[in-house]
Amino acid sequence: MNTGVVFSSTLVENFGITVRQLRERQGWSQEELAGHSGLNRSYIGEIERGRVVPSVVTVEKLALAFNASVTEVFAHCEAIEKRRRSPFAESSSCGM
């Protein structure tokens, strides 16, 4: 259920980044991910921008589309957070 509330938590942002990275790794457009997951393309865009908090069912649909477990998807989110916290985060973003 979407209540229209805008969230900005780090986890929600990292989940959106994860979805985008996994989608791009597959070489898929948002439309193609929508087809694989059974979700609406515009909703996937909202997830990727960190504007909505997806339900557990939605997270599972996305994980299945990527042929991954929910645990693997959240591990990717945690890796993003660790990189953000790293004192070398800025230098690592320049390709070093």
Structure confidence at residue 87 (pLDDT): 76
pLDDT tens digits, 5-57: 544 588 999 999 999 999 999 999 999 999 999 999 999 999 999 999 999 99
Give dist(CA 41, CA 45) in Å, integer.
Answer: 6
User: What is the phi/psi pair of residue 21, to 5°?
Assistant: -65, -45
What's the one-letter identity of residue 83?
A: R
Q: How far is the C-alpha of 63 from the C-alpha of 33, rounded, in Å?
A: 11
Q: Which pLDDT band, with edges at 50, 70 and 90, does 86 fall under?
A: confident
Q: Give the Cα separation of 76 and 52 in Å (integer).
A: 19
Output Rg (C-alpha) for the chain, integer angstroms.
14
Could you give all domains of the chain from N- to C-terminal order, each with its CATH number?
Answer: 10-91 (1.10.260.40)
